[in-house]
Amino acid sequence: MAGEPQDDCLFCKIVAGHVPATVVRETDATVAFQDINPQAPVHILVIPRAHYENAAELAAGAPELAAAVLKETKEVAEEQKLDSYRVVFNTGAGAGQTVFHAHAHVLGGRGMQWPPG
């Protein structure tokens, strides 16, 4: 069922505390933690506790939760004292998605190129 934890999902395991992560913020609905392979001086992932495969599924199935994730990206950026930063939702393997539990990347602390690769 939409939103239910998946046994084979890495980020559901992080939410459940079965896989360790360096958590920087938590709310009732979301968890924010350090990316294990940072691509910038600040690289934090914000995820909904509930399992949705990607940002599109999240937006369609739980729009208030999608908004909560986006709000948390702002809180993370403020806590990290980022003036400029990038929020990325890779959606689909062709766009670089490797973990199929919706997540926002918050990247900052260095200059950014556009367009992204």
CB of 67 to Zn ion, least distance (A): 19
3, 9, 29, 35: which one binds Zn ion (CB under 5 A)? 9
Strands (E), the chain: 23-26, 30-34, 42-48, 85-88, 104-108
* Residue 87 burial (C-beta neighbours within 10 Å; 0-12, 13-18, 19+): middle
CB of 103 to ligand 5GP, least distance (A): 6
Q: Is 101 a catalytic site residue?
A: no
Under the binding rule (CB under 5 A), the answer on residue 101 touching Zn ion is: yes
Check: CB of residue 87 under 8 Å from CB of residue 103. no
In the list Zn ion, ligand 5GP, none, the entry touching 51 (Cβ below 5 to 8 angstroms by class) is: Zn ion
Q: Which stretch binds Zn ion (CB under 5 A): 34-42, 61-69, 84-92, 99-107?
A: 99-107
**Catalytic site residues?**
103
